[in-house]
Amino acid sequence: MAMERSGEDRPRHALVFGGSGQIGERVLAGLLAAGWQVTAVSRASRAAAPGLVWRLGDLSGAWQEPASFDAVFSCGPLDHFARWYAASDVGAARVVAFGSTSVEVKGDSSEAAERDVARRLREAEATLFAAARERGAAATVLRPTLVYGAGRDATLSAIAALASRTGLFVLPSGADGLRQPVHVQDLADAALQVPRHPATAGRAYALGGGEVLGYAEMVRRVLAALRPRPRLLRVPAPLFRAALALAHAAGRLRGLNAAALARMREPLVFDLEPARRDFGYAPRRFDPTREMLIP
């Protein structure tokens, strides 16, 4: 990718939040490779690199000095970033922020905590778009589906880690809802493409992977990437629920609640055509390796 330059023939300058996360670290690498100057914000001290300056801070406070950037990228919690951006006077023509397809998936969840997640995401998107319009900036929200690729996600890497420890992974019968797992590099590439395309202003895009497959098939491919290969065991749903209740009582698998269990049967498939049309989104098929799942 060629170096991006402004009208004054200077390297473009990006402000990045969440640059140490699984998506953010690849966004940083892509910006630096394209010749951007990058200011990244972190709660912990980090070493500078050519073209990269780290600033101590987080999204709880305002920027402490006047600043203008060509673009701001947020790879962390959308609700915190939206509040920060609305209260900040940092200038940037383009804003790219990651949200989640949970804004659509969890709105009608049986779990109050999940409904609250969807509400906060929905309100954050509205806040971000309104603040951007008010200051004449172009904001875009990217909503990933199931993320994998850095060994740091909460679903597929968790499946791989558990199966590696036990040599077995258990799924309830009927857990065959469709999924679109998406690689972190494809998400980072999407974020870097967005500022080059005016049609993305004021839009939110679902970003899934390049293949739709059933939940059980997705798990099979995860297990096939491990050595030795764990077994996949399908059990009747009532038996699985009983075992899950015992695990919860022992303080384990708390993230796998009744709503998450029900979603294993649901087709969670999103239309990627708007992203393909507006900025050339072209994600890969789901072909995981061990290194993508377990760092």
- Output the DSSP codes for 236-294: -HHHHHHHHHHHHHTT--TTS-HHHHHHTTS------HHHHHHH---PPP----HHHH-
pLDDT score for 4: 46
How does residue 253 score in pLDDT terms, banded at 50, 70 and 90? low
pLDDT score for 214: 97
Number of helices followed by number of strands (H, E) in the chain: 11, 13
Strand 213-214 to strand 178-179: parallel, antiparallel, or no bridges (unpaired)? antiparallel
Model pLDDT for residues 122-162, shown as the tens digit of each residue = 999 999 999 999 999 999 999 999 999 999 999 999 999 99
Instruction: Enter the pTM of the model.
Output: 0.93
Q: What is the mean pLDDT of residues 100-110?
A: 95
Q: What is the mean pLDDT of residues 23-31?
A: 97
Nearest CA to 29 among 49, 5, 57, 55? 49
Taken in order of first residue, the domains within the chain and their CATH numbers are 11-144 (3.40.50.720)
Q: Do residues 172 and 236 make contact, with C-beta atoms less than 8 angstroms apart? A: yes
Indicate if the pLDDT at residue 35 is higher than 60: yes
- Higher confidence at residue 88 or residue 244? 88
287, two tokens: 């072909």
Model pLDDT for residues 199-213, shown as the tens digit of each residue = 999 999 999 999 999
